[in-house]
Structure 1
Amino acid sequence: DKLPALMSKNIIIAHAADGADMLRKHRMPKEIIDIAEQHHGTTLLKFFYHKAKQNGHDVKEEDFRYPGPKPQTKESAVIGIADSVEAAVRSMAHPTHEQIESLVRNIISDRLQDGQFSDCDITLKELNTVTETLCETLKGIFHSRIEYPEMNKQKVKQA
């Protein structure tokens, strides 16, 4: 949040290529390297694009897109979706089940409308399964927990 939008987008966009370079260095299989390069496709970093525009910068949408390529396999598409939705949910203070479900559906819908799955053979049925699975998983991870009385006592003693 403290970095300028242009610098933030450069750091974020670089992670796909940097990850692929690290995988190459460690002689990982080509299929894994391909996933690292493809998992974000040519998606737009919307937050930073809009932030740059709001700050008065004359920016082009393509400058805020990952360089691609778009996912070539179902696996690459699913990993890209999972990466994006996990990061988005993690950025929320106290996500409700409804907010999680809405976010997952919106991210997948945006990618579908943006043509991000046009180079892989993932079906709508499979995308629906991914949606349901990610929603259930994220709801389990981010559900609210009660604080147990023993924990409260320990906090008081430590203070």
Structure 2
Amino acid sequence: MELSNPNHPLLKRLLLEAPGTYHHSLIVGNLAEIACEAVGGNYLLARIGAYYHDIGKLKRPFYFKENQIIEEDPHNKITPTLSALIIISHTKDGVEIGKEYKLPRQVLDIIKQHHGTTKVAFFYGKALSQNQQVSEEKFRYDGPIPQSKEAAIVMLADSVEAAVRALSSPTPQIIEATIRNVIQEKLLDGQLNNSDLTFKELEIISESFIKVLTGVFHKRVSYNIFEDS
């Protein structure tokens, strides 16, 4: 409960130095808590793990889209391989920062595992488009894949929140399809193999995410307040 206090020094740093990441982490925390409670997991651990899962971005906050307040993307000035290295490093950096602030082992595990061994697909594709001879392994996170329900749920919550936030026209149908596609991709990529999540639990998690994110992100109808009744 102490770690959930907004006045925790690390959360205050996140708010001030990487505000986009801070707000993303709050939504991921809500998603993870609700989904974890629905499948009988440690929902408090999932929420706290989500709050701190991206603290590694404090090292280079402006290399992450949610913190870019200007149009100039620093990735445009470096190679896709270096971009991927910076992105991938935020899990290792997060563990190091977490240790400095004496975060418990269970939270450090979630920080380390929340991307598993997934591929940084955007920069891998960019490297291929530039005809670079690259190894796919260099564009994958170091892992390990999630070793618990809580770590896996934080991974899924993190991925679906980012995917839905990136939608240009988020209707309820598109939001649902996006969430199910993200979860299916993680499953097929083997990222959930050690999490002990069942197919039934994945369906429950999907429904939880759909309910929350549809409420947060779907487009509202625009009403003309000056129109005569």
1:96 aligns with 2:187: no
The CA distance in 2 between the partners of 1:8 and 1:88, in whole Å, is: 19
Aligned equivalent of 2:193: 118
**Gaps spanning 5+ residues in structure 2: where?**
1-72
Deviations 1:105-140 (A, max 9, x none): 111111111111112211111111111111111111
**Gaps spanning 5+ residues in structure 1: where?**
153-159
Q: Which runs of 4+ in 1 moved over 6 A?
A: none
Displacement after TM superposition at 1:144 (Å): 1.7
The CA distance in 2 between the partners of 1:122 and 1:102, in whole Å, is: 21
CA-based RMSD of the aligned residues comes to 1.8
Aligned partner of 1:47: which letter? F
The CA distance in 1 between the partners of 2:74 and 2:179, in whole Å, is: 27
1:80 aligns with 2:155: yes
Aligned partner of 2:214: which letter? K
Aligned partner of 1:60: which letter? S
Displacement after TM superposition at 1:20 (Å): 1.6
Aligned equivalent of 2:134: 59
Displacement after TM superposition at 1:88 (Å): 1.4
The CA distance in 1 between the partners of 2:82 and 2:155, in whole Å, is: 22
The 5-angstrom pairing of residues 43-54 of structure 1 reads 43-54=118-129
Displacement after TM superposition at 1:8 (Å): 2.4
TM-score, scaled relative to structure 2: 0.61
Aligned residues: 151
1:10 aligns with 2:85: yes
Displacement after TM superposition at 1:2 (Å): 5.8
Displacement after TM superposition at 1:24 (Å): 1.0
The CA distance in 2 between the partners of 1:100 and 1:59, in whole Å, is: 33
Displacement after TM superposition at 1:146 (Å): 4.6
TM-score, scaled relative to structure 1: 0.86
The CA distance in 2 between the partners of 1:2 and 1:24, in whole Å, is: 28
Aligned partner of 1:34: which letter? D
Tell me, what secondary structure is at the counterpart of 2:170?
Answer: coil
Displacement after TM superposition at 1:37 (Å): 0.1
Aligned partner of 1:49: which letter? Y
Aligned equivalent of 2:210: 135
The CA distance in 1 between the partners of 2:224 and 2:88, in whole Å, is: 45
Tell me, what secondary structure is at the counterpart of 1:83?
Answer: helix
